[in-house]
Amino acid sequence: MLAVDHGYIYDLLIKLGLSDFSARTAEFILVRPLKIAAILLAAVMIGRVAGRAASKFIRTGYHRSPMRVPTPRATMRADTVGDVAASVVRGVVMAIAILMVLDELGVDLAPLIAGAGIAGLQSLVKDIISGLFVIIEDQYGVGDVVTLGESTGTVEDVTLRVTRLRSVDGTVWFVPNGEIRRVGNSSMEWSRALIDVLVSHEADVEKAAAAILDEANALAADPAWSESVLEPPEMWGVQGMDKDGVTLRLVVKTAPREQYPVARNLRTRISGRLQREGIKAPGPVTS
């Protein structure tokens, strides 16, 4: 049977006449705290240096890439990815340090790791990897209006594990990144306001379409909306016909996230214009 090497302090205490239990207890009290402190200090220093190196590497590579356009959003994304990389590196270093500390305390790590649950660990890793791709690929960012599965709202925060959305009614949704299968972003690069106007079957459709488009052009020429409207509005014409009336569709290309205020203002203007032109909306339907 192989002899166990307890260390110099243990051997010294044994030679001084202490029992095995006393020597081991004294060594645990005197030596282990120093080892644990050294491990944690080294982890903090290594994590800080390695995190900064990873962040600098990501930022430098991102900005030097000839495929990247140096826009403010691209710069912000590079900074975000750099910060995330630094956090991941520091987290890995600290996780290793914690395992080393537990080992120093005599904790059997095998049952602990098994008890953590392979499924739970896989889910966490899946969320983190998905979060990295969301940030790196710029699928969405804070302030964007997106649809993630059944949840739609404005992005308030994006972390490696979860995305936080706030819907129109104020409800906050926390969506794990690993569960995101499809992303709909209505704020990327440009948006489009869709205004469907319902008029009665007896109305002059061409006159109504011309009046609607004229009001849209007036809004586009308004200095207060010049930065919101990117291109001249388009009248796409009859979108549908049913027992209630004829639906005319107007589309306006807008700056990101400006489609909603533009659409609301246009509906107000169009409603007043149609009333002044004497173009009737559908009346109440009776059976």
Query: What are the tens digits of pLDDT across the range 71-91?
Result: 666 666 667 677 777 777 888
**Predicted confidence (pLDDT) per residue in 236-250, tens digit:** 999 989 888 899 999
Q: Which of 69, 102, 136 is the last residue of a domain?
A: 136
Find out whether 279 and 212 touch, Cβ atoms under 8 Å: no
DSSP-derived secondary structure for 167-186: -TTS-EEEEEGGG---EEES
- Is residue 164 located within the same domain as residue 94? no
- Is residue 47 located within the same domain as residue 129? yes
pLDDT over 60 (residue 287): no
* Per-residue pLDDT band at 286 (split at 50, 70, 90): very low
| Residue 283, domain member (yes or no) | no
Find out whether 151 and 165 touch, Cβ atoms under 8 Å: yes
Question: What pLDDT sits at residue 1?
Answer: 40
* Per-residue pLDDT band at 7 (split at 50, 70, 90): low
What H or E segment, with its residue span, contains residue 39? helix 32-64
Find out whether 263 and 270 touch, Cβ atoms under 8 Å: no
**At 257, which CATH number?**
3.30.70.100
Question: What pLDDT sits at residue 285?
Answer: 44
Strand partners, 248: 197, 238
Two tokens at 158? 């994006």
Find out whether 192 and 217 touch, Cβ atoms under 8 Å: no
- Is residue 164 located within the same domain as residue 210? no
Find out whether 252 and 264 touch, Cβ atoms under 8 Å: no
Find out whether 230 and 192 touch, Cβ atoms under 8 Å: no
One-letter identity of residue 119 = A
Cα–Cα dist 85/102, whole Å:
26
SS3 244: coil
- Is residue 79 located within the same domain as residue 170? no
CB atoms within 10 A of CB 282: 16
- Is residue 176 located within the same domain as residue 215? no
- Is residue 32 located within the same domain as residue 101? yes
- Is residue 171 located within the same domain as residue 199? no
One-letter identity of residue 79 = D
Cβ neighbours of residue 147 closer than 8 Å, sequence gap 6 or more: 183, 184, 186
Cα–Cα dist 100/36, whole Å:
8
Over range 39-61, report the average pLDDT.
83
- Is residue 28 located within the same domain as residue 127? yes
Cα–Cα dist 148/142, whole Å:
14
Question: What pLDDT sits at residue 2?
Answer: 42
Q: Containing domain of residue 168, as a range?
A: 145-185
Q: What are residue 278's phi and psi, to 5 degrees?
A: 75, 20
| Residue 2, domain member (yes or no) | no
* Per-residue pLDDT band at 211 (split at 50, 70, 90): very high
SS3 193: strand
**Predicted confidence (pLDDT) per residue in 173-183, tens digit:** 999 988 888 89
- Is residue 112 located within the same domain as residue 160? no
Question: What pLDDT sits at residue 231?
Answer: 92
Over range 143-158, report the average pLDDT.
88
Over range 200-213, report the average pLDDT.
92
- Is residue 118 located within the same domain as residue 38? yes
Two tokens at 80? 């975000």
| Strand ranges (E), the chain | 145-148, 151-158, 162-166, 172-176, 183-185, 191-199, 234-242, 245-254
| Residue 285, domain member (yes or no) | no
Find out whether 173 and 153 touch, Cβ atoms under 8 Å: yes
Give 63 or 79, the one with higher predicted confidence: 79
